[in-house]
Structures are given as structure tokens and as C-alpha cells.
């Protein structure tokens, strides 16, 4: 074997060794690439699932935001109803108190006439009448003006007392029927205080056409 053949064989051996080493490295890189791709695809699937969960959470959040908005709207509406009812109650009780100021001296005069002219007992007080909503402490005990004395001179004609003023009738607040329990509730109440169902109008407003 010549020296030239020996060099050629040596070069081939060196080339084979280099090819083998690089092939091993190439296979290692290929496995790493495949591993990373599979792992990345798995992470991508997880990412899609996470994004879907995030969308669901956002939707749930918005539903809660809408519920809170509706609750705040109901609270504001109920506060308005309470304020209106308080004002109405105050007006009616003030009117009743003013009428009572006229009632007390007139009753005192009628009682005096009944006693002196007819020998009758006094009329019952408001709180003494059956079924009366007036309690003894409803109106402050103010000193009523003294009734005009009428001397009893028989057989003087009996003076008829003037007719009593028309009875004060308290106007009930505007009411409506709850669509759930069918009980009467305030017309502006957004929530039925009895069954806690949201009040809905029987004739909802139609949206305006653009």
C-alpha cells in the first residue's frame, strides 16, 4: 500500500468520525426541536383554554356589574318612594293637626250646650270612638279656647249647634297590584316588600324607533 493510499484511507476515517459526531449532534438537536414544539403546542392549547376562562370571567364580571347597577337603581327608586311617602305622611298629619285645632273648641262648645241645654253627656273623644285610629297622645294637649258660656234659662229655645265640618278623609297613596303575589303595593315600588319580587309594569314603554 502506498503512502498516498494510506493518506486517503486516513482522510476517510477522519471524515467518517466527523460525520458520526455531527450526526449525533444533529439527532440531539432534532429531538430538542421536537420536544420544544410539542411543549409549545401544549402551552398553546393551555393558553387558549386560559383565554376562554378569562372571557367567561369577564362575562360574569359584567353580569355582576349589571346586577349591581340594577340594585343601585332599585335603591335610588326606593329612596325616592320613601321620601315621597314621608312627605305625603307629613302633609296629611299636619292637615289633621290643623283640623284638630278647629275640632277641639267646637267640640267643647257642643259638649257645653249638650250639658246645659239638654242635660246630656259629652260626646266621646276621638280616641274613645270604636275603630278610631286616633290614640290619646296623637295630638298635643293644647289648651283649647274657652267655649262661650250659654246660661241655662228654661224654657229658652234650644240652640242647635252648627253642623260639624266635613270629616277629614285621608287619601290613600297610589297603589298597584304585585304581579307575583297580587298584593297591593305602592305604585312606584321597584320591589314588592312582601314577596321581594321585582315589580314590572303591565304596560312597559316601547323603545323609540331610530
pLDDT in tens, 68-102: 999 999 999 999 999 999 999 999 999 999 999 99
Q: DSSP states of 71-98 as a string?
A: HHHHHHHHHHHHHHHHHHHHHHHHHHHH
Note if the pTM is more than 0.75: no
Cell 414544539 maps to which residue?
37
Instruction: Give the three-class secondary structure for 185.
Output: strand
- Residue 183 maps to a domain: yes
Provide the residue range defining the domain that includes 192: 174-200
Q: What is the pLDDT of residue 105?
A: 94
pLDDT-derived band at 5, boundaries 50, 70, 90: confident
User: Which three three-digit cell numbers place residue 84?
Assistant: 315621597
Q: Which residues, 6 or more positions from 152, have their beta carbon under 8 angstroms from its beta carbon?
A: 116, 117
pLDDT-derived band at 185, boundaries 50, 70, 90: confident
Q: How many domains is the chain partitioned into structurally?
A: 1
- Residue 34 maps to a domain: no
- Residue 196 maps to a domain: yes
- Binning the chain into helix, strand and coil, the percentages to the nearest 5 are 55, 5, 40
- Residue 43 maps to a domain: no
- Residue 32 maps to a domain: no
Q: pLDDT at residue 54 above 90?
A: yes
- Residue 108 maps to a domain: no
The separation between the first and the last C-alpha atoms of the chain, rounded to the nearest angstrom, is 102
Rg of the chain taking only CA atoms, in angstroms: 48
Amino acid at each position: 500500500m502506498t503512502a498516498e493510499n494510506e493518506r486517503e484511507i486516513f482522510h476517510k476515517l477522519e471524515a467518517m468520525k466527523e460525520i458520526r459526531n455531527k450526526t449525533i449532534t444533529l439527532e440531539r438537536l432534532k429531538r430538542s426541536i421536537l420536544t420544544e414544539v410539542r411543549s409549545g403546542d401544549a402551552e398553546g392549547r393551555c393558553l387558549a383554554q386560559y383565554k376562554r376562562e378569562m372571557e367567561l370571567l369577564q362575562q360574569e364580571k359584567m353580569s355582576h356589574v349589571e346586577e349591581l347597577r340594577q340594585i343601585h337603581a332599585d335603591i335610588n327608586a326606593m329612596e325616592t318612594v320613601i321620601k315621597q311617602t314621608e312627605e305625603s305622611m307629613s302633609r296629611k298629619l299636619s292637615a289633621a293637626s290643623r283640623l284638630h285645632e278647629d275640632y277641639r273648641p267646637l267640640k267643647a262648645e257642643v259638649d257645653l250646650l249638650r250639658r246645659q241645654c239638654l242635660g246630656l253627656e259629652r260626646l266621646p273623644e276621638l280616641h274613645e270612638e270604636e275603630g278610631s285610629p286616633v290614640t290619646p297622645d296623637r295630638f298635643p294637649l293644647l289648651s283649647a279656647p274657652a267655649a262661650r258660656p250659654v246660661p241655662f234659662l228654661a224654657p229658652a229655645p234650644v240652640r242647635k249647634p252648627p253642623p260639624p265640618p266635613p270629616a277629614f278623609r285621608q287619601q290613600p297613596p297610589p297603589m298597584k297590584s304585585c304581579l307575583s303575589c297580587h298584593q297591593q303595593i305602592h305604585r312606584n315600588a321597584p320591589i314588592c316588600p312582601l314577596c321581594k319580587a321585582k315589580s314590572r309594569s303591565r304596560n312597559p314603554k316601547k323603545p323609540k324607533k331610530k
